[in-house]
Amino acid sequence: MSELLFQPRLQVLASQEDVARQAAALLEARIRQGAARVLGLATGRTPLRVYALLSEAVRDGRLSLAGISTFNLDEYAGLSPDHPGSYRSYMNRHLFAGSDVDLARTHVPDGLAADPVAAGRDYEARIKAAGGIDLQLLGIGQNGHIGFNEPGSPFDSRTRMVPLAASTRAANAGDFPGGTVPERAITMGIGTILEAREIVLLACGPAKAEAVAAMIDGPVGPACPASALRLHPRVTVLCDAEAAARVARPG
């Protein structure tokens, strides 16, 4: 591929707790510096401890999220904001309710939008109006997805409704006890993600090892959506030893 490629800054830490603490410390530092007034946020199991640490810092008076704007990566189609499986509900429980953030400045894609195309355009316009995302927090799916951009997603894609891979729905089934994981979601596109000024990706556990290796060492292309991050000059990957187990190392 003709684009200039960059190598993400890879930090391999001893444990998932260390990954969370390093990520929380990085976010706290950027916020205090005024370098992260607009945050892009991820959901899932990996960021939970990060959000707990940020909430703790706010309660202790070491950090304030007042004046910070947030944009979440994605939301399931068909779920109301108060549905326990929705990502709006997740964010309210795990970060927003335990901090001093202004809820009016928090944004999650509209999974109930009657016109998903218009909703995607509106979300992009809201990000632009906020000045763009300063720091984007990401996880990575076992198939290499970022946000809900499944393999095959174009690198110039924008916020849109997408079908979810069977493997993604299976991995997220634990969030829907006794229920069915939605088949679609509205997600920021890869092009949207790449416009963030800084990106921090978290990965923990052996189930993520293949995806992390493909992202860092494999071909850059839609088969591994996370490989698009090698087109960005400022990406930090924080992972534990299990998630980094298949990454090639010189020598």
Q: Which active-site residues does the annotation give?
A: 74, 143, 145, 150
b/e map 211-229, b = 16+ CB within 10 Å: bbbbbbebebebebbbbbb
Q: What is the DSSP letter of 173?
A: G
Structure tokens at 72: 């979440």
3-state secondary structure of 58: helix
Beta strands, E only, the chain: 9-13, 38-41, 69-72, 74-76, 106-107, 135-138, 160-163, 184-187, 198-203, 235-240
Q: Which residues pair with 238 in a beta bridge?
A: 11, 202
